[in-house]
Structures are given as structure tokens and as C-alpha cells.
Chain A
Amino acid sequence: MNGNLPRNGLRKLFGSVERVVGLSSSSSILGVKNTRINGVGNLVAFGGVGVAGLKSLAGSQRRQYSTPAEEKMTVRDALNQALEEELIADERVFLLGEEVGQYNGAYKVSKGLLDKFGPKRIIDTPITEAGFAGLAVGAALAGLRPICEFMTFNFAMQAIDHIINSAAKLHYMAGGTVQCPIVFRGPNGYAASVGAQHSQDYASWYGSIPGLKAAIRDPNPVVFLENELQYGVSFPISAEVLSKDFQLPIGKAKIIREGKDVTLVAHSRPLNFCLEAAEKLQAEDGISAEIINLRSIRPLDVDTIVASVKKTNHLVSVESGFPFFGLGSELSALIMESEAFDYLDAPVERVTGADVPTPYAFNLEALAFPTVDTIQWGTEAQLGNSLRCLDTTTWKKIIFLLAVALMQSVDKKGYPSLVHALMEVAYFNW
């Protein structure tokens, strides 16, 4: 099942979701679907992992994802289906949020659900995030399994106290006597031309909170981050994923592209850029990049990353969040603390959003987030000191320098030694 995931892209569930903050696998995101809302909280971030498929991907990349893809589904429809399955599976599950009912969802994720489940379970709220998020937490404490939709996670800032203080910490503070099975979900990440207050990635915010997780059938609070720009993107989906009992494992990363020279770690929308960058790196530099879709931000699948780094000896972290104290910062620290550090041939490279509030102007906005080019540059920089990646011209330069150094050592010191010459070359050039 897991094996299929990468190829299929996120399945319906995840497929769509961009990232869950808390992160779990993409599927959990929906959490709904896969993870029953039980609980308290893990955050999951979905990466758009699987997601896959961006339209921009080349056909070859796409093939990787979809093996025998019987069907295609947009992220939006996958989320919708996952919600429906969870609503059918458990009477205690209900969806509340702004415009989720009569309006069919600001992004149409909840389209048709009001007609199917009625106003008792698909609930339109006033535009009062602290009020309805707090209410959803209370309903979870009293035995229900709410799915609390934020129109976007930018507005969840109004209610972040309830996500963190009221939901994530309660189980611990109560010594295990109280549970808070709730899913907070909605679009996250940078969007197009909407300015600083509506365009930001909250993965690292929620990812830093113990007690948060991702996924609906999980008994913990889950934050499920969906990427606003990915809702309409389609991904191939298998019959297995379409089955109502299909669940993605939370906390399990997915290797969506095998490679041997460098490991790219990302989640959500930037995964698409990673895939494209990997093709360019292969074509232009002969670099074979391995790409890991985190799917879940917390729990974070450190084992998969470490194993990959031990194989490739290089790590590039890609995220659209701010660089300071972001996911890449944590990944760097985790790698330093793991046995993978001894396998690194170069320092970890971070490709992130710029450390600026998101600007409105089109040209400035384009400079604020990772692109295929920045990922390619970051990866080339990472591998710049590694001989196996050097092109013919560079090799010629090295051989020339080596020869010069050999001759110099003969002239000056009188005892030509290839070993000595190599040491000098190494000293001066590296």
C-alpha cells in the first residue's frame, strides 16, 4: 500500500492535501478519511507530496507517480471524498467552518456535503474563528469528533490559542484523563498575489508543538494543512486508494523519486518543483537526485531521511516557509544529531522562502518562494565540491592545476612526489 502511494500521488486524500502541518502523511490529512478523528493532536503536514503531479511535470515524471493509474482525481475531490467517507463512518464526525454548508466551501472542498448530511453535521459558522474553533475543541472534549475548517490558515491565527493551548496541551495537562480528537484543516501556504496577510506557510509553527499530529482517525488533535494552489490539480489514483477503508500511515515519509547523488526533502507544493529540478539536474549535470515527500511534519520520519542521506551523502531541504527556525533548521539539527552526519560530504543546504513578508507585486512575489531554479542552484552548490559531479571542463582544470603543482614542487623542492603534489593541490584548491 505504501509502495503505491508515491506512484499514485497522494491518494485521493492526500493527494490533494498539500501539507498537513502537523503532518502526517498526506492521507491522514484528511485525516478525515484515514485517521479517524480521535484525538489529540499531532500535526501533520502534507506535503503536496505526492501530489503530484503538477501540470508542469514532464511526462516522465508523471509516469513515476502513476503506475497503472485507473483514474485521476483532483486534490479537492479527494478531500471531499475523504470527508464524506468519514462522515458516513462515524456519526460523531461533523464539519464546521465558514461557508462550508450552503456556499459549498470557499474552495468547494465541502461541495455537496450539506445536501448529503444536513445542517446538523455540516455547519456554517459566523466569521468568528476564536469562537468556533474553541467551540469545536469543547465538542471534542465532550465526545464528538469535529472537523474544524478554516477558510485559510491565515485566519486560524485568530484561533491559534485554541489549537495550541486548548487542544494540543490538554491531554498532557490532564494527565491523560481528557482527550481532544479534533482535526483543524484548511488551505495553507503561499498563494498568488494576495499579499502578506493571506500568503504564508504555517507548517513550522504547528510542527513545533508537542501534542499535535495529523489525521482524522487519530485520537489526538491534528492540524491538516492543504495547499491552496493545489486544490485543482489532478493526480492519478488507484482503486486501492479509492476504497473507503484506505488510510495513509501518519508519520511515514515517501521516497517519490529514487536517486543516488543527493537527497531533496520537501513537502507540499515545492515537491513539484523538486521533481522538475531533479529532471534538469539529471539532464544538465548528470546528478541523480532522490526526493522525499515528508507528508507528515510531526511526527517527522527521520529514519527515512537518515537512510537516504547515508546513501547519497548530501542533503538539501526545500520548504516555502520562512528560513528562521523553519523545517530546514530542524532537519539540519536532526541530521547533525544522527549518524547520518558522518556520511555527509557537504553541509546541509536549505532552500526556503525568503525571510520577508509576502509582497504583492508579481515580480517580487516570484522572488519570495522556492522555484525549480533555486532548488537546482541549491543542489548544485551542495554538490559543488564533490568530484563525481564535476563536468569535463572542471576536470581539465583540475588536471592542469595538478600538473602545475607537480612541476612547481620539482622546481622548488627538488624531490618530485606525486603524493606531495596532490596534497598541495588539495590544500590550495579545496
Chain B
Amino acid sequence: MLVNPRLSMLSRSISLLSRSSQLRARLFSSSAPAASETVNYTLPEGSFQTYECDPPSHDIKVNKEETINMYKQMVLMRRLETTADGLYKSKHIRGFCHLCTGQEAVAVGMEAAITPDDHVITAYRCHGFTLVRGQTPHAILAELMGELAFSLTSLCKGGSMHMFSKNFYGGNGIVGAQVPVGAGIAFAQQYLNTKQATYILYGDGAANQGQVFEAYNISKLWNLPAIYVCENNHYGMGTSASRSSADTNYFARGQYIPGLRVNGMDILAVRQACSWAKDWVLSDKGPLVLEMVTYRYGGHSMSDPGTSYRTREEIQHMRSTNDPITGLKQRLLDLDFLTESETKQIDKDARATIDEAVKLAHNDPFPDETELYTYIFVEGSEPPFVRGREKEEVGHVVHKQ
């Protein structure tokens, strides 16, 4: 199965992925589904691997409309990131920019399993989560391009790494720092008795941060409704998992916290795992560690071509055998939920949506210069003025109504 013997460190996860990539959907319902029909479906064996817990059921319900929407969201997300890549290369986007191309199933699958009332926090690879958490492509692109859209997330003060939405807390730029912050969000749910779950995402690189284990310890100690989700894309920047982690079984690294490894390239498995995890934490069983085995096609950020520490063959192999969009598309075709021509139309629609968003963002003005001085402090609690670069340059804070 491996295309290159140097990839042995990926063997475990790749074999997991490739099994599922064969997509042997075993349909219990043989009749042709009608519109908005729900069918029974069995996830491939090997979708999950457990640590100190029983796995979620492999038998799931698949609703036509919902699944098509998931597909559309993934296509839109990939188009958004591809466009951001182009805009970066044409110098319309600057600074750090981390794309999630290849990892779409994690964000979309998770969102499909939860409600807008649940909470999500992640690190700087956040465009996809921002999209599924309710921000428009226009808002995201405008933020990236530093141009002010009315629906903007951060008034262009955050940029690529710091995007926010309702019950989505960013966008933290410090590797691993979002993990204890996420535990705090879960703490607040417990304190307020909201019966809402908090999903805390971090990468395989961040998994070695000491504060991750501090958060594990506290959340287990206090039985917090925290779901730690390690997006294992196999590389922390240019360092492969096996070169950074003494134990690459990220789902088992909570020690006293049960864990589940999930085929993160299979959106239905992601959705099932996230749904199961929500039930787990809301039944007061304490925190969980999920490991989403996934893969990023691009470099770590725009300055990384992504080919110096892995082979082009490896990337190509992942794309051709494990792509989350292709995988779901094949299922939708097998289930007769979609036709080839309909999938082409979905691609076209996504392209049109993003093109329109780019056009809108291009026409947006840059932020007003007075915005430099706003929202340093909460409105109504700010000092009378803020110093600029020299003593005569003074910002008088006037918040936009």
C-alpha cells in the first residue's frame, strides 16, 4: 500500500485510511432513495480505534439532504482555500496563512454532529472552522485581504490566524495555548450547567506542549465536558510526527482519559465520532481525546512548499486514495443521492460563490484609519486617548455603532 518505504512512520494511519478509502458501503436499504430520504449505512471497519472505551457504533443513518450539504460545504471550503492560495501568491493576502486543504472532513464533519450552541476553539489553521461556524466566504476573504466587509469577523485586526464567530473562539496563534483556554470554555459550560460540549482542536505538533497535559489533568480532575481533538496531519510544520512525538498514538496520550482514533478523511466517521463524543461528555463521563487522522496537501503555511520533508508521491498518494471530498462524492453516487452532473454543478456553484466573494472583498474599502485605536478596551471602559507613534499623534477612541 505504501508508495515509498520512507513512509513507514505513516504506515499505521495510512493503512487505517486506505481501508476506509475503499468505501465499501454496505447498504441495508436496497431500494432507491427518494428525496430527503434517510438510509442505514455501515462505516468501514477500521474507522475507529479505541483507548479505554467502547467504540461508537459503525451503523449510522445517512440523510440525503444533510449529506449533500456536507459535501457542498467541503467543496466550498476547498475552493475558498484554493482561492486564498492564489490571492496570497498575487500578494492580496499577506503574513502567515495556513490552509486546511485536505483536512475539510474534520471541520465539516464535526459541525454536522453538533449544534451552533456547542463550542469550538482551534489554532491558526482556522479558515475552515470559521466557515462552518457561520461566517461567509466574503467575510473570511475580506479579513484575509485586510479589507473591511460589513460582516467581517475581526475588523481586519486578526487576519488569517485570528478569526471568530459565535461560539467559535478563534484562531489562537500560539501553538497549544488554545487547549487550556478550551478547557476553560468547557469549565464555563459545567459551571453554567448548559449541557453543551466544547471541542478543542490542536495538531500533532501541539500535542507535545506541556500545557496540553495540564489541561488534560484539570479536565479529568474536574470532569469537564471537554473533547480534545487532535488533528493529526502527520507534520508539525516540517517535523514528522515520529520525529517529534515519543508516542504517536495521540488518542491514547490522555492516559487516564479515554480516547478514540478516527479516520479523519472519512467525513461520516468524523461526524459519528463527534456525535458519540458529545453524548459521552454530556452524560458526565468526563473528557475525551479524539485523534482525527488526516492530511494536509499544502505546506504548513504559505512560505512552506511542503515538499522538503515528504515526497510528492506521498502527497499524490493521499490525494488519490484518501481524499475526503472524493470519498464522500463516491458514496453519494453509490447511494444515488447525486448524479455526476449534479456534482459538477456543485463544483460550479462553489466556484461562483467564491468568485463573487472575491469580487465583493476586492471592492471593500480598507479599514478606516481610526480603527487602529478601537477595541483595545471594551467600549465604555477605554482611556480618553491612545498614544500614536509620536506625541502629537493621538487616537481618540470612537467605536463604530
User: CB within 8 Å of B: which residues of A?
Assistant: 38-42, 94, 120, 125-126, 128, 130-144, 146, 161-162, 165-166, 170-179, 210-211, 213, 218-220, 251, 299, 337
- A142 and B189 contact, CB distance less than 8 A: yes
Contact A126 B155 (CB under 8 A): no
What 10 pairs across the A-B complex have the smallest Cβ distances?
A138-B184, A134-B180, A131-B214, A175-B155, A142-B188, A135-B184, A219-B378, A176-B375, A128-B214, A138-B181
- Tell whether, in the assembled complex, residue A174 and residue B183 are in contact, meaning their CB atoms are under 8 Å apart: no
Whether B187 lies near A135 (C-beta < 8 A) is yes
* B contact residues around A38 at 8 Å (CB): 378, 381
Is the beta-carbon distance between B158 and A220 smaller than 8 angstroms? no
- Complex: A172 Cα to B395 Cα, angstroms: 15
- Interface-forming stretch among B25-33, B60-68, B165-173, B268-276? B165-173
User: Is B379's CB within 8 Å of the partner chain A?
Assistant: yes
In the complex, chain A residues whose CB is within 8 Å of the CB of B185:
138-139, 141-142
Q: Is the CB of A299 within 8 A of B391?
A: no
Q: Is the CB of B182 within 8 A of A138?
A: yes
Q: Which of B215-223, B287-295, B339-347 contacts A (4 or more CB under 8 A)?
A: B215-223
Instruction: Convert B178-220 into 0s and 1s, putting 1 for each residue whose CB lies closer than 8 angstroms to a CB of A.
Output: 0111111111110110000000000000000011001101100
Q: Which residue of B lies closest to A167 (CB)?
A: B181
Q: How far is the CA of A135 from the CA of B220 in the complex (A)?
A: 13
30 contacts between A and B (CB under 8 A): A38-B381, A39-B378, A126-B214, A128-B218, A130-B210, A131-B211, A132-B218, A134-B211, A135-B183, A135-B218, A137-B180, A137-B184, A138-B182, A139-B184, A139-B191, A141-B181, A142-B187, A144-B188, A166-B181, A171-B376, A173-B157, A174-B154, A174-B158, A175-B152, A176-B155, A176-B374, A176-B379, A178-B169, A211-B377, A251-B383
Contact size range, B: 35 or more
How far apart are the CA atoms of A299 and B376 in the complex, in Å? 12
B145: min CB distance to chain A, Å: 15
Contacts of B381 in A (CB 8 A): 38-39, 42, 213, 218-220
Residues of chain A contacted by B87 (CB below 8 angstroms): none
How far apart are the CA atoms of A132 and B156 in the complex, in Å? 30
Of listed B171, B183, B380, residue having the most chain A CB within 10 A:
B183
Q: Is the CB of B217 within 8 A of A128?
A: yes
Give Cα A137 to B5, complex, Å. 45
Given contacts A142-B119, A177-B164, contact A132 B180 (CB under 8 A): yes
A94 and B222 alpha carbons, distance in the complex (Å): 15
Task: Assess the B158–A299 pair: CB atoms within 8 A.
Answer: no
Q: Out of B174, B183, B188, name the residue touching A131 (CB < 8 Å).
A: B183
- How many whole Å from B124's CB to the nearest CB in chain A? 12
Is there a chain A Cβ closer than 8 Å to B398's Cβ?
no
Q: Please state if B169 and A138 are interface contacts (CB–CB under 8 Å).
A: yes
Question: Least Cβ distance of A41 to chain B in Å?
Answer: 7
Min CB–CB distance B391 → chain A (angstroms): 4
| Contact of B315 with A by CB under 8 A | no
CB distance from A61 to the nearest CB of B (A): 32
Contact (Cβ within 8 A) A130 B214: yes
Given contacts A143-B188, A146-B184, A174-B170, 9 further A-B contacts (CB under 8 A): A131-B183, A131-B214, A135-B218, A144-B191, A173-B157, A175-B157, A176-B155, A176-B379, A220-B377
Residues of B within 8 A of A141 (CB): 169, 181, 184-185, 188
* CB <8 Å contact, A162 and B180: yes
A-side contacts of B191, CB under 8 Å = 94, 120, 139, 144
A337: which B residues are within 8 A, CB to CB? Answer: 391
Q: Is B177 an interface residue (CB 8 A)?
A: yes
When the two chains form their complex, are residues B184 and A142 in contact, meaning their CB atoms are under 8 A apart?
yes
Given A128-B218, A132-B218, A135-B218, CB of A175 within 8 Å of CB of B177: no
With the chains together, A299 CA to B387 CA distance in Å? Answer: 12
Return B227 CB to nearest CB of chain A, in Å: 14
> Closest approach, in angstroms, between the C-beta of B183 and any C-beta of chain A?
5
- The answer on a CB contact under 8 Å between B158 and A175 is yes
A138 B183 Cβ-Cβ under 8 A: yes
Residues of A within 8 A of B172 (CB): 165-166
Return chain A residues, CB-CB under 8 Å to B119. 142
Best-surrounded residue of A38, A126, A135, A174 (most CB of chain B within 10 A): A135
Whole-angstrom CA separation of A210 from B397 in the bound complex = 14
With a cutoff of 8 Å between Cβ atoms, the chain B residues found around residue A170 in the complex are: 170
Measured between beta carbons, the chain B residues less than 8 angstroms from A146 are 184
Beta-carbon nearest neighbor of A210 in chain B: B376
Contact B173 A165 (CB under 8 A): yes
* Nearest residue, chain B, Cβ from A213: B377
Query: Is the Cβ of B214 less than 8 Å from the Cβ of A175?
Result: no
Assess the A174–B162 pair: CB atoms within 8 A: yes
- Residue from A135, A140, A142, A173 within 8 A of B180 (CB atoms): A135
Q: Is B13 an interface residue (CB 8 A)?
A: no
Query: What's the Cα separation between A171 and B381 when bound, in Å?
Result: 13
| Chain A residue nearest in CB terms to B209 | A130
Residues of B within 8 A of A173 (CB): 154, 157-158, 162, 170-171
A135 contacts B181, CB within 8 Å? yes
Query: Are B378 and A162 in contact, with the CB atoms below 8 A?
Result: no
Q: How far is the CB of B256 from chain A (nearest CB, A)?
A: 13
Residue-wise, chain B 268-309 has the 8 Å CB interface mask toward A (1 for contact) of 000000000000000000000000000000000000000000
- Report the minimal beta-carbon distance from A121 to chain B, rounded to whole angstroms: 9
- Give bound CA distance, A39 to B378, whole Å: 7
Q: How many Å from the CB of B357 to the closest CB on chain A?
A: 19
Do B154 and A133 touch across chains, with their CB atoms under 8 A apart? no
- The CA-CA distance from A182 to B183 in the complex, in Å, is 16
- The residue on B at minimum CB distance from A176 is B375
B188 touches which one: A128, A138, A166 (CB < 8 A)? A138
Q: B101 within 8 Å of A by Cβ?
A: no
The one of A134, A136, A162, A171 in contact with B377, judged by C-beta atoms closer than 8 angstroms, is: A171
Q: How far is the CB of A98 from chain B (nearest CB, A)?
A: 12
> With A138-B184, A162-B180, A175-B154 as given contacts, are A125 and B218 in contact (CB-CB < 8 Å)?
yes
Judge whether B383 and A134 touch: CB under 8 Å. no
- Tell me the minimal C-beta distance from A304 to chain B in angstroms: 14
User: What is the CA–CA distance of A125 and B218 in the complex, to the nearest angstrom?
Assistant: 8
Name the A residues within 8 Å of B380 (CB-CB).
219
> In the complex, which residues 355-398 of chain B have their Cβ closer than 8 Å to any Cβ of chain A?
374-381, 383, 386, 391
Task: Give A294 Cβ to nearest chain B Cβ, in Å.
Answer: 15
Shortest Cβ distance from residue B163 to the other chain A in the assembled complex, whole angstroms = 9
Within 8 A of A (CB), among B79-127: 119, 121
B164 to chain A: which residues have CB within 8 Å? 174-175, 177-178
Task: Please give, as numbers and ranges, the residues of chain B lying within 8 Å of A172 by CB-CB distance.
Answer: 157, 375-376
